[in-house]
Amino acid sequence: MTTSRRRSLRLLTAPLVLGALLLGVAPAQAGGAGPGPGQGGPATPAIVTTTKLEGRVAALTFDDGPNPYDTPRLLQVLEDNGVEAVFCLWGDVVRQTPDLVRQIVAAGHTLCNHTMHHEDLSGWTPEAIRADLEATSALIHEVAPDAPIRYFRAPYGAWGQSPQVAAELGMQPLGWTFAIEDWETQDADVLAERLETRLRANPGSVVLMHDGPVMDRSGTVEAVARVVPELRAEGWRFHQPDRRG
């Protein structure tokens, strides 16, 4: 990573670190019962971890983004291969990258609420969870007013009481079948091997990857660019995760 890129990433992520230290969450909008306008529609508290489709099929999901360095190339790779993915948006990042969020929506990808400050929800009350999720969705809709938010994913997979709250707001809780652990390394060879091997062993998977700005994600993008065309040539399809509404 170049010096200028490291400096820019520090500038971008500094507000995220500050936001993660805040104890409160933004206030919920008035009302609060049932899905709000533009939400994903009927949902259940069941945490989805598959596409619920048979054969060579998978769903690609990307957390914590977008970021101005790697997300644009990722969007191009997905477009080149005719893949629609799910982007789990971190509210603090959305505030800094509104144009990229609009690009994600314009490209036909699906949005997922990933909370405002990326905090562990396991000890939160339903009221606090609702306030955070509503505030995050409201922020996303300020940027992309007509985009449905079909899913919710809890940071770290620390769900607590959030599945029920998310379902009440019309967002299906979205888990994953496997991750490629791209927080451990950005070695593209390692990540591509993990992605290909685990997909072949687990058809129907929901795959967890990251495009957020807290670190260089070029290895993740390169892994997708290598593996997806190969699998597409073999007849693999990349679909949306199950929605048990």
Catalytic residues: 63, 210
How far is it, in rounded angstroms, from Cα 78 to Cα 56? 18
C-alpha to C-alpha distance for 65 and 88, rounded to whole angstroms: 7
How many Cβ atoms from other residues are within 10 Å of residue 228's Cβ? 23
* CA quadruple 209, 215, 219, 224: dihedral sign: positive
Residue 229 φ/ψ, nearest 5 degrees:
-60, -40
Q: How far apart are CA 88 and CA 94, in angstroms?
A: 10
Closest CA to 192 of 206, 209, 175: 209
Contacts of 77 by beta carbon, 8 Å cutoff, 6+ apart: 221, 224, 225, 228
